[in-house]
Amino acid sequence: MIKKKNNEIHLHQIEKRTNVILGIVFILFSILLINYFKIQIINGTENADKAYNNTVRKVTMEPLRGLIYDRNNNVIADNIIQFDLNIRPENIENYGGLRDIRKEKLIKFLIEIESILKIDMDIENIVKRALSKQSFQKTKIYSSFDSDEVGHLINLVEHKEGIEMGTSIVRHYQYEDLFFHSLGYVGKPNKKELDESEFITRNSMVGKAGIEKYYDEYLHGESGLKDIIINASGRVKSEDIKKMPVSGKDLQVSLDLDLQALIKNKFKDKKGVAVVLDVNTGDIIAYYSAPSVNANKFSKGMSSKDYVNILNNPGSPLLNRITHGLYPPASTIKPFIAVGAIMGDYIDPNEEIFSAATYRVGDQIFKEWQNWGHGDIDMRRSLSRSSNYYYYDLGYQMGVDYMHDLLSVFGFGEKTPILEVDGMKTGINPSNEWKIKTYGERFYKGEEIMISIGSGNISASPIQMANAIKLIANGGKQYELKFNYKKDKRLVKDLNLNEDWLNPVRGGLYDTVNTKDGTGRVIRKKTDVIVAGKTGTAQVFSSKALEEEYEEENIAEKLRNHSLFVGYAPYDAPEIAFVVVGENQGGGSGFAAELSGEIVEKYLGIQKEKGEQH
């Protein structure tokens, strides 16, 4: 005992250390208390906000999109219920694990489903979409408007967990490709569209092109708003509606369903354009570019395979030929040259000049399309027979710069004013300035005279052609073109074209259709309505073709001439103006004139009958 005395512990020593321990405990508890005070009292509000943001998600509720009617109150765009097959990965047997493992399982599952259902699925895309969501969220793998079809499919996979049927409301275009280039289509918003509008969410459908895009806000309506309460794994626990959605407003467009259908049937698999305008209002009555695309493919969402097919289609169906297709106007330019000739006093419309078989500039020889020439002709006949000689001569006298200014007045080389359409190609309305800028030299005389028959360095879009002929029909009133049937017409400018300048030309256009050797005489067979117009035959083959024998049958289809017709009707009180372009359809007196006649008969002939019946 005594030996170990140094090592002996005394209780008071222990107690001293115990007090140190208790002191440490008090310090630690004080730190805790201060920390809790800081979190709960000082930062309490801030943390409460964070907690709120954790659980409350503001979600917009999509309103029903407004319907679109044609001018005769036919619904041409509406919303329908689509039946979907969805997968919900969390229900798939043995689903789970790391991303790569889940991906593998998903692919295996989808391949199995595909083999059972025998439907086309873009597995890669589906897997990508499914993995970007939470595993309890559904991903669409197939959809159809036919409930029986989807019901049948779901029966086939009834024994499989993880696949289920659902519905969604989608934009539906019952006439599929009939209005693709005018109505456009709707689709999921891209990042830019999401950023720009506070009401658009990932679930919204926004107008992507055409009328759907221009009137998007009007058709879309007001989105509703609700708070949804979600838990930590993103599942919705409850929701609180703050504002009900207001459905979009309906829109009536000036397009005519029957006329569109007629045009489409005429084109079948041919390429080209038909546009019909109301000369007194600027309303667009028909607007069809062939080939077209089924707009539902875009609004429903299509597989990338389908999309590639569309892109690779040699007919370029996505191309809106009305505003973006440029063609040589060919002889359809002649009425405007003729108006300019009278305006500028280059010719007396009644004077007859001898239209020979060839026109000579220096040592260059330009052939008339009719080997033996047209003989003595005045302006009316120059139009009805479409003499080249007459216009070579006018072109020679006027020079390219005068023609440029003249054609500008009629809107060539410029954007055609359309309310709903902004982007379009302006084509080439050539001048010396243009030639110098492009080729570094002025026009040669031989080139200039080509312009006057609408060939060479001149190109125009069908909408420009239709708009220009409309100006001849209504005396130069440039109404803004529009699709919105209910909107008041707007006069952009009045060219105040003198009737004395126009009437000889109108007479020529009348003769084109209504004399027995007029180039557009085929129209008489199609309708009793008096039509005035001008044929055009645009050379696709090289300009050398002019000097060689052109035989339609012997030439590959893509090298055949384009068939053009511009005109208006009825002759004495014009209501509509139109253009038809048939790519590679040969001369303008054929396909284009025929379709023009059918258009007039369909639109005005029936109207007339109706009028008589009443």
Tell me, by CB under 8 A, how many residues bind other proteins: 43
CA dist., res. 482 & res. 241, Å (int): 39
The distance of closest approach from Cβ of residue 102 to other proteins in the complex, given in angstroms and rounded to an integer, is 18
**13 vs 408 by CB, closer to other proteins:** 13
Binding to other proteins in span 27-86, by CB under 8 A: 28-29, 31-33, 35-37, 39-41, 43-48, 50-52, 54-55
CA dist., res. 95 & res. 589, Å (int): 68
Stretch of 81-89, 227-235, 349-357, 429-437 contacting other proteins, by CB under 8 A: 227-235
Binding to other proteins in span 11-30, by CB under 8 A: 11, 13-15, 17-18, 21-22, 24-25, 28-29
Beta strand pairing call for 251-252 and 68-69: parallel
**Pair of tokens at residue 280:** 């007194």
The distance of closest approach from Cβ of residue 98 to other proteins in the complex, given in angstroms and rounded to an integer, is 15
**18 vs 408 by CB, closer to other proteins:** 18
**4 vs 268 by CB, closer to other proteins:** 4
Q: What angle do CA 152, 156, 160 make, to 5 degrees?
A: 130
One-letter amino acid for residue 138 of the chain: K
**52 vs 439 by CB, closer to other proteins:** 52
CA dist., res. 65 & res. 220, Å (int): 5
CA dist., res. 165 & res. 86, Å (int): 6
Stretch of 101-109, 231-239, 353-361, 421-429 contacting other proteins, by CB under 8 A: 231-239
The distance of closest approach from Cβ of residue 5 to other proteins in the complex, given in angstroms and rounded to an integer, is 10
The distance of closest approach from Cβ of residue 134 to other proteins in the complex, given in angstroms and rounded to an integer, is 13
Considering the rule CB under 8 A, would residue 231 count as an interface residue with other proteins?
Answer: yes
Beta strand pairing call for 353-355 and 477-479: unpaired
CA dist., res. 63 & res. 79, Å (int): 11
Q: Is the peptide bond before 245 cis (omega within 30 degrees of 0)?
A: no
Chosen residue from 1, 198, 488, 556 binding other proteins by CB under 8 A: 1
**30 vs 408 by CB, closer to other proteins:** 30
**52 vs 354 by CB, closer to other proteins:** 52
Considering the rule CB under 8 A, would residue 240 count as an interface residue with other proteins?
Answer: no
**35 vs 72 by CB, closer to other proteins:** 35
The distance of closest approach from Cβ of residue 4 to other proteins in the complex, given in angstroms and rounded to an integer, is 6
Residue listed under structure tokens 């918003």: 189
Judge residue 33's burial from the number of C-beta atoms within 10 Å of its C-beta, 0-12 exposed, 13-18 middle, 19 or more buried. Answer: exposed
Instruction: Identify whether the C-beta of residue 505 lies closer than 8 Å to the C-beta of residue 383.
Output: yes
Stretch of 194-202, 228-236, 321-329, 402-410 contacting other proteins, by CB under 8 A: 228-236
Give one DSSP letter per residue of 436-463, joined into a string: HHHHSSPPPHHHHHHHTTT-SS-BB-HH
**57 vs 324 by CB, closer to other proteins:** 57
Phi-psi region of 236 (alpha: psi -120 to 50; beta: other; left: phi over 0): beta
The distance of closest approach from Cβ of residue 58 to other proteins in the complex, given in angstroms and rounded to an integer, is 16
The distance of closest approach from Cβ of residue 23 to other proteins in the complex, given in angstroms and rounded to an integer, is 11
CA dist., res. 42 & res. 35, Å (int): 10
**46 vs 146 by CB, closer to other proteins:** 46
Q: Which residues contact 547 (CB under 8 A, 6 or more apart)?
A: 367
Give one DSSP letter per residue of 398-420, joined into a string: H-HHHHHHHHHHTTTTS---BSS
Chosen residue from 75, 229, 293, 546 binding other proteins by CB under 8 A: 229
Residues that bind other proteins (CB under 8 A): 1, 4, 7-9, 11, 13-15, 17-18, 21-22, 24-25, 28-29, 31-33, 35-37, 39-41, 43-48, 50-52, 54-55, 229-233, 237
